[in-house]
Structure 1
């Protein structure tokens, strides 16, 4: 074994020295034989990610950015096609956590083992983030940044409704408060992945799951558990919002951007909204801009609390998202790629992504750093950190794409959701999809 130290091109170093084994693979590269690692990224945070690619390049390899499509589904498709063909040029990839089990199960991800695995998942990594990178008792990816949802709201609207936001609030309370005060409730209910995020969080918040977590790794043989009291509680929330005056005009096609836009106008009561961490930077950056909040007083009226409870007294399960870094199993530069993965997910890298791009860390220590405490309100950082640490992931199944599509097909449109029928019909259809008895 031998330890190799390298000069970082801009001084960003991996926090721990890496001990690597074996003979380095010869790879295609420039005329001097120096290999290039291709890093396929999603479009979020491109400026900082390009900087990280430069910072984490060394005297022995360069990292080059390759841009994936904006849609998570299209990102998965492009990467899956490459890896299914045994593509040796896919070295690093930014993966939505829901696709990690599929890629790992297919043998497309090179696991981190030994000391490398210990560095990827040390005690500093938040529990919610750690869950998303493990499969079959192996560490198959490295958490880079974490996403979660909180309840954003206009303080003036909550005050007018007499809602005590220092205590946990339920979906029923939020919907009633908005409806009774000419406000709205912003969600993501278009027929796409974010709608499944909402459904899953509602079900988990009621103590249930779409699939039995103890059987989810069984793949097609997993036990479907969406037809449950928790499933009916979740459907009841969606039905109540759909039937209330708090539903927004674009309810059935709403997404992250449209729901945020409803928070800006200052000529009305505003909204309650569940949405991701990007909201704070976007809202603060839009103050005084056309179509944005009028002035700083509007920013001062923006509040945030933990994701609403599905059932009163049952702790909510905020959604978990973000990006993990996988190393392609067919890469000709596995040692280099895994070393690079640790660099681009290091505390320094996560700090840059959080401060520059609003992409929150997966590490406890970064939330406590001077850079973040200067960039964000302390209570918001604490809320995000706790939400990531105690939130709930979507089903960690190698068949997640089919699961998500099956749920969407039976729960959309949200205006047709019925607690008496939707959980049952979706369970039957999902079971048929997993068993190969039905097609999407």
Structure 2
């Protein structure tokens, strides 16, 4: 991964220096026209900050047209996800966090549970656009207490991306595979002709959390087996679906279809998704909507010339009897409001404006994400992105992967178990047993279904 650099930038007011300052101490009012208000918005990814910087003057003008004097200071602090989590936690604790924070939806549960985020239910109930959000997106945003603490402004769909051009050259069927048996037969055709692995699904410890969120979880989620019960807050660590998923990893490994050597590389995404998939020598990859931009787009890590013509997607095939092919509704970034913000109304108004109309269309296009709601598909520049429109069409019917308290511990156990498979130290049954034991120990009795 590229080395992160940290700096601060400013938009409409004056340049900021040093660490993030405390929430705005400007005059009360603004959202109701009673006086000027300044709110601060944090972005920790450069591509997001770049598009937001262009949108802020439009928001300020829109507010002025309504008789509201709301100014926005953009704080750009370029961080990895882990650095962001650490730093913003410290700022919440010390009372120095900005008013609005743009972050991955997976961060919300912990911050909301700690009382750092403003509950948004009343705002959303009064916001007409909330009715336009797709149900899987709403379900994912709803926290375990039944409330909402963030506004999703993008969605992703996880699918199997494949090199249509390469498979056609090899005479391999490119229609939607209905079952994993069907897909494996095609992968074996590819490997027989090339002598190389033909699919990459994150596995092992080197890929870290990606093994869980981009590899294992999308597969087990489609097996119809209960994995995490949101009502009880407990994990089921032994099931037919879990066994079938570990067996699948073992089958792919034993058949030479997974790139084991690459998966054991310190940065396994580089030889697989950044070299061999773009080359066409590893023609199938588990991936999310973000791949169209961040990985293989013109400004991505490994651009594929003519990516929209050469690459296509399959839904995940059915793994167990009684199930159908599916895509996984992945999370996206959300706007959350600091519970201690002195200007909560103005902060929410900014979050809602950025999640609507042209502002939303421009962000989605810049990031390479699907719209989490209807009403954006006919707005340029998003309107001219067929891959994103296709992903949005799947959002409404996609499966939402289970995710709850203890996910980090379950992820750790999945990484270890899949590593034992690709190393040849365990078959599927042995890996499933080791996973159940390790996850139970890491989670503790309170989080495990007995």
Distance in 2, Cα, partners of 1:369 & 1:105: 36
- The CA deviation at 1:230 is 0.3
- The CA deviation at 1:204 is 0.9
Distance in 2, Cα, partners of 1:120 & 1:425: 49
Residue number in structure 1 paired with 2:253: 242
Is 2:345 the partner of 1:335? yes
- The CA deviation at 1:112 is 0.9
- Would the aligned equivalents of 1:208 and 1:228 in 2 still touch at CA under 8 Å? yes
Q: Tell me, what secondary structure is at the counterpart of 2:55? A: helix
Is 2:120 the partner of 1:108? no
TM-score between the two structures when normalised by the length of structure 1: 0.78
- For each residue in 1:97-155, what CA deviation from the matched residue of structure 2 results, as whole angstroms up to 9, or x when unmatched? 22222222221210113243452862311222212221212121100111222222122
- The CA deviation at 1:360 is 2.4
Change (3 A) 1:256 1:304: farther
RMSD of the alignment, in Å? 3.3
* Aligned mate of 1:384, from 386, 391, 402: 391
Q: Tell me, what secondary structure is at the counterpart of 1:191? A: coil
Is 2:226 the partner of 1:212? no
Is 2:286 the partner of 1:274? yes
Is 2:363 the partner of 1:349? no
- Would the aligned equivalents of 1:151 and 1:308 in 2 still touch at CA under 8 Å? no
* Aligned mate of 1:81, from 74, 90, 106: 90
Change (3 A) 1:320 1:335: same
Residue number in structure 2 paired with 1:199: 216
* Aligned mate of 1:263, from 274, 277, 288: 277
Residue number in structure 1 paired with 2:438: 429
Distance in 2, Cα, partners of 1:63 & 1:227: 50
Change (3 A) 1:203 1:101: same
Residue number in structure 2 paired with 1:231: 242
- Would the aligned equivalents of 2:207 and 2:269 in 1 still touch at CA under 8 Å? no
* Aligned mate of 1:369, from 361, 365, 379: 379
TM-score between the two structures when normalised by the length of structure 2: 0.77
Change (3 A) 1:38 1:284: closer
- Would the aligned equivalents of 1:157 and 1:271 in 2 still touch at CA under 8 Å? yes
Distance in 2, Cα, partners of 1:37 & 1:340: 10
- The CA deviation at 1:406 is 4.0
Give 1:399-410 correspondences, 5 Å limit.
399-410=406-417
Change (3 A) 1:425 1:52: farther
- For each residue in 1:325-351, what CA deviation from the matched residue of structure 2 results, as whole angstroms up to 9, or x when unmatched? 111112222222111111222232220
Q: Tell me, what secondary structure is at the counterpart of 2:325? A: coil
Q: Tell me, what secondary structure is at the counterpart of 1:412? A: helix
- Would the aligned equivalents of 1:94 and 1:325 in 2 still touch at CA under 8 Å? yes
Change (3 A) 1:369 1:175: same
- The CA deviation at 1:88 is 4.3
- Would the aligned equivalents of 1:40 and 1:92 in 2 still touch at CA under 8 Å? no
Residue number in structure 2 paired with 1:185: 199
Residue number in structure 1 paired with 2:316: 307
- Would the aligned equivalents of 2:39 and 2:99 in 1 still touch at CA under 8 Å? no
Residue number in structure 1 paired with 2:40: 37
Q: Tell me, what secondary structure is at the counterpart of 1:65? A: strand
Give 1:311-322 correspondences, 5 Å limit.
311=320, 313-322=323-332
Q: Tell me, what secondary structure is at the counterpart of 1:93? A: strand
Change (3 A) 1:65 1:179: same
Q: Tell me, what secondary structure is at the counterpart of 1:316? A: coil
- Would the aligned equivalents of 1:283 and 1:299 in 2 still touch at CA under 8 Å? no
Distance in 1, Cα, partners of 2:342 & 2:151: 19
Aligned length: 396
Distance in 2, Cα, partners of 1:40 & 1:332: 20
Q: Tell me, what secondary structure is at the counterpart of 2:115? A: coil
Change (3 A) 1:214 1:36: closer
Q: Tell me, what secondary structure is at the counterpart of 1:311? A: coil
Q: Tell me, what secondary structure is at the counterpart of 1:274? A: strand
- Would the aligned equivalents of 2:153 and 2:355 in 1 still touch at CA under 8 Å? yes
- The CA deviation at 1:277 is 1.8
Change (3 A) 1:36 1:226: same
Distance in 2, Cα, partners of 1:308 & 1:349: 36
Give 1:283-294 correspondences, 5 Å limit.
283-285=296-298, 293=304
Distance in 2, Cα, partners of 1:286 & 1:342: 28
- Would the aligned equivalents of 2:105 and 2:333 in 1 still touch at CA under 8 Å? yes
Is 2:425 the partner of 1:415? no
